[in-house]
Structure 1
């Protein structure tokens, strides 16, 4: 965490941050904000499948106490208008989602929303963009490929970890990678460096029949599942018996995949639009880098930093793929 603060130059002095108190590696977010000198950190928590609110409180405060910042973090189970009126940066974190119009309307006009991932990955169900546009509140994505963040470099190892969990060696496996987005380079290089033979397809219908050990789905989510009945039938026609369809990113109709005789991993489906494996499966470092970068991007925009194509921050706009970068 100290290295991440040094590398990103995160400085939240004189700013108030509203984020989450969470469990596991995600307990770092509120603590990073406090370590970066935030005037006050409010950390909202609730019970989820990842842990109870009591566990989130305990883990966040224990970590904060270990670095001497527990006195600057207030754990909340209710967010009042008074807290929102003080907020400079609010994070698009799991416990806070969705950020509703009613919540956004209570924020100061100078507040910013930290998306906590790249702008092109924006999910409309996470927060009310119309309310942000009406209030002039920017939604700030983070450039995960910035050298001080470099989270994209973890995507290949993360996919390898997911394949290992499914029972495949990766080494000497023949992999079909379905990918239509910026993850493609990191995934392909990560799989190849682990000894896999990788063929990339940007569209399901271009996949051809071969002795695939796994078909990896890394397709940008849309309103409908990226793998529905026609796609499942095509995959079944192209894959040998026993091949695994691995859900890295992109929603799939698991019923039709099973009906076509295909195995699916992970066995528990992720939430709509979410990845099939969390960065925390590789340990805390990628999570720390991503959260520090997300806060840094929001801080830069909150302090009216000038835009730059190679910077930390990306501004989400209504036009798909329309992104402005800032240093």
Structure 2
């Protein structure tokens, strides 16, 4: 096929578990997507130093975006994970950086030393860096900021030491994913539909119960409905009623205990016919209890606690590029302005995980 041949010719970025070449991940396309995201977000990291990750697949773009945005220096930490080895992350990040002419602005690290932290203006809450410990936060310059890389209300206390941030006055900066220059929420509906299709169930003409108690609700419902599903939304498991559900999609904000445990499973069993599938989009579930009660669960491999059951990169690199550029831009805004004002791109985490969350304060772009 022409697309596959083009992908081979230009080179691609892919996770270690990909068995096919996907032309949507070609280096020229990634370069174009990154350039577009820089233009739309107005990201400018000149005179700033960024500490982030070197990763595989679509997530290799983070360090490269920072370098393309003119960062004084980009330090990209990597380690071996289930998504790829440190050697693969280094190779893919530098291959992408070389394709856009910024490889000389990125240093790949397998160890983060205090002298690097002392230079850092923005550190990203990226997978290879997590958790951001008090020891690291205490070494940051007082003007530094942490880029959460998703919305403030999605903050997970296990990602970083918030007490250390509060003590040092280091802002934790979320990004408004619904801002026009980012618009990642628009990908959530198609992402949920893909997850259904991966489970072996078409959205079209099927009866879907959507359990959702958070801001994902509008995007998920519209995406499912536009694909031809019949959808009813429930903000609490106990409000679900008996019907001929083909799938029950769980998109519940994670909590200290699984959102679907033994009591919730008993209610689902009473409400769902044999063969119904429980799809874990977001929110932790007790898979053992679900399986023991005869409910099918997707995906088969459980995501990490508090993490989504499907990655944005399953739709290709574009939503990841947009999110990473937006996350960096939000952090840049706060780092340069040091203040928040009316509605906009940047958000600040203003609550402690041991307290009830409050709405984040937004900033202008």
8 Å CA contact 1:20–1:95 kept in 2: the answer is yes
8 Å CA contact 1:149–1:293 kept in 2: the answer is yes
Q: Deviations over 1:184-205 (max 9, x none)?
A: 0000000000000000000000
Residues 322, 144 of structure 1: alpha-carbon distance in 2 compared, 3 angstrom cutoff: closer
Report the TM-score, using the length of structure 2 for normalisation.
0.88
Aligned residue pair count: 326
8 Å CA contact 1:213–1:243 kept in 2: the answer is yes
8 Å CA contact 2:345–2:362 kept in 1: the answer is no
SS at match of 1:32: helix
Q: Deviations over 1:288-307 (max 9, x none)?
A: 00000000000000001653
8 Å CA contact 1:20–1:96 kept in 2: the answer is yes
SS at match of 2:330: helix
8 Å CA contact 1:177–1:215 kept in 2: the answer is yes
Unaligned segments of structure 1, at least 5 residues: none
State the distance in 2 between where 1:325 and 1:225 align.
Answer: 33
- Map of 1:2-151 to 2, 5 A cutoff? 2-151=35-184
SS at match of 1:178: strand
SS at match of 2:189: helix
State the distance in 2 between where 1:275 and 1:321 align.
Answer: 21
SS at match of 1:157: helix
State the distance in 1 between where 2:75 and 2:216 align.
Answer: 33
8 Å CA contact 1:181–1:219 kept in 2: the answer is yes
State the distance in 2 between where 1:259 and 1:36 align.
Answer: 51
SS at match of 1:270: coil
Q: Deviations over 1:4-30 (max 9, x none)?
A: 000000000000000000000000000
Deviation at 1:158, TM superposition (A): 0.2
Unaligned segments of structure 2, at least 5 residues: 1-33, 351-356
8 Å CA contact 1:306–1:326 kept in 2: the answer is no
Calculate the aligned-residue CA RMSD, in Å: 0.9
8 Å CA contact 2:340–2:361 kept in 1: the answer is no
State the distance in 2 between where 1:322 and 1:311 align.
Answer: 11
Q: Deviations over 1:125-146 (max 9, x none)?
A: 0000000000000000000000
8 Å CA contact 1:311–1:326 kept in 2: the answer is yes
State the distance in 2 between where 1:123 and 1:309 align.
Answer: 25
State the distance in 2 between where 1:108 and 1:326 align.
Answer: 24
Deviation at 1:326, TM superposition (A): 3.8
SS at match of 1:159: helix
Q: Deviations over 1:98-134 (max 9, x none)?
A: 0000010000000000000000000000000000000
8 Å CA contact 1:305–1:326 kept in 2: the answer is no
Deviation at 1:323, TM superposition (A): 3.4
Q: Deviations over 1:264-320 (max 9, x none)?
A: 000000000000000000000000000000000000000016534431100001x44
Report the TM-score, using the length of structure 1 for normalisation.
0.98
Residues 140, 155 of structure 1: alpha-carbon distance in 2 compared, 3 angstrom cutoff: same
State the distance in 2 between where 1:310 and 1:35 align.
Answer: 27
